A and B are shown apart, each in its own frame.
Chain A
Amino acid sequence: MLRHVVFTLLLITTAIAAGVAMVPGERERWTMLVRDNRNEEALDVLKASSRAGQRDADAVLQLYKLLMSFAEIARATQVIEQFVADRPGDVEAITLLAKHNRDAQNVYGEERALKRIFELSPSQGTAQRLLSIYRLDGAFDREESLLRSLLAKQIIAANDAERLGLLLFARGDLDGARQALTYFDEIANPERIIGRLALFDLLVHLGDTQTALAKVAVWIQNWRKASIHLPGWPEVSLTRLVRMMMAVDAVAARRILCATPQDGSSLAAIQRLQDLACPAPANDVPAGEAVAVATTGQAGNLSGELQR
């Protein structure tokens, strides 16, 4: 009898223990509620859990998601900020915060988060978004600082390297400009012109004429190789480049410009450079230009074109 009683009690105890064990835990509760589209109840469970100091990542992220789904933006912001504060070096968490701030149209919050991401894990993607924010905001000092950082890390895009070079050139930081434009020259497609022309001018300005002329020689080769027609390159830029080259070292300039065979297959832009710089047989030259060459010399003629 006693054995039966003990056995029965044991069974009851086991059943109760099993029952208790089978009562869904908090995680199961909110998971099931979300599954059943009972989001308000799930939110209540998760809010209570949060108030009780629960910091489980899944629960916090689900709480955040639910708050957003009810457009409780201020509370969701607190939750995601706390989540990130608990994980100060976690790039994924900060990326969530950046996205949240963008979704909440908090541009400055997004900027702060992106800056932190960039510090922890620099990338062109993060930098591009930051640059957009800075540029739209007219925050050129912050833009320049970030561009310098991108250049130092050698993860700068060609457009941005050109932009940094031009920014620094306009500001009078010639060494900085040279560094940026030289890097731009190395990575940019052959058809990119403005940054290269600026680099040429800059090198001349710094007295490094040999490098300047050597670069033009390379560019011309590349332009020919790449079959670039350089649409939209204004006449004045061509004229100006030739004039600058001639002013620097007329002999070397002619050697570079005129050595390229004038075989009729020359691309329009190169042909134009040659037209400007290289003496042609008299019967191929329009009368007006022939007179100008004869009377003022090549450099004088080119300079005259610019002043016109």
Chain B
Amino acid sequence: MKVTVAVKRFNPEKDDTPAFHEYEVDAAPTDRVLDVLMHIQRKIDPSLAFRKSCGHGVCGSDAMVINGRERLACKTLLKELTDKEGTKLIIEPLRTLPVQKDLMVDQTEFFQKYRRIKPFFINNEKAGPKERRQSPEQRKIIDAATSCILCSACYSACPVVQGENPLYLGPAAIVQASRFNNDSRDRGFELRLPELDDPDGIWPCNNYFNCTQVCPRNIKVTKIINLEKNKIKKFHGQGEGHANPE
């Protein structure tokens, strides 16, 4: 089928501002958006720049805004974007993060915020000679958070980051913090607390739910953020938290 693809291009070496370029390609409904981009880059315009690697939604390289919404290009099939008028793709880079070229964005601030929350296992008690024990139930608690691939879709979609409070830690960093804070084996909650319990830490989340809607790993991000807020309140002796913060 014929597909019209509009890609927001920007080459800092040549352009002052980004602009849409249009391409016509022949594709199948089961093709991925990534397949379309690869076709354009390999057969039509080799200067088209985008990140990709695994091609099946596990590495997180190709998060971008497709038809107005953050998605992984390799996990989005054309048939999802087809309506009675045909298939038109509008492809743009992620929001907020500075555009490096075309669909490549500078993820430095995203990774800096991630690194700040000490995204590593903390337990200084001497481990035995074998594994530390953890029950299947305890393991299940962190299951969703462990599947985060740091693709930045949630960060891009977050209205707080976009404008309300650009210093906000952002959803992914909080999910990563919660992965450890809720791991029965980890002891680093208080070490991570200062970054989370900060006016620009976890508190700016305003329950927009954009993150939850766009997460390609189906992580209930907003819920995790709220649970973590409750955990912090409880730590301060602020009684039983509930799902809706003030």
The answer to whether A and B interact is no
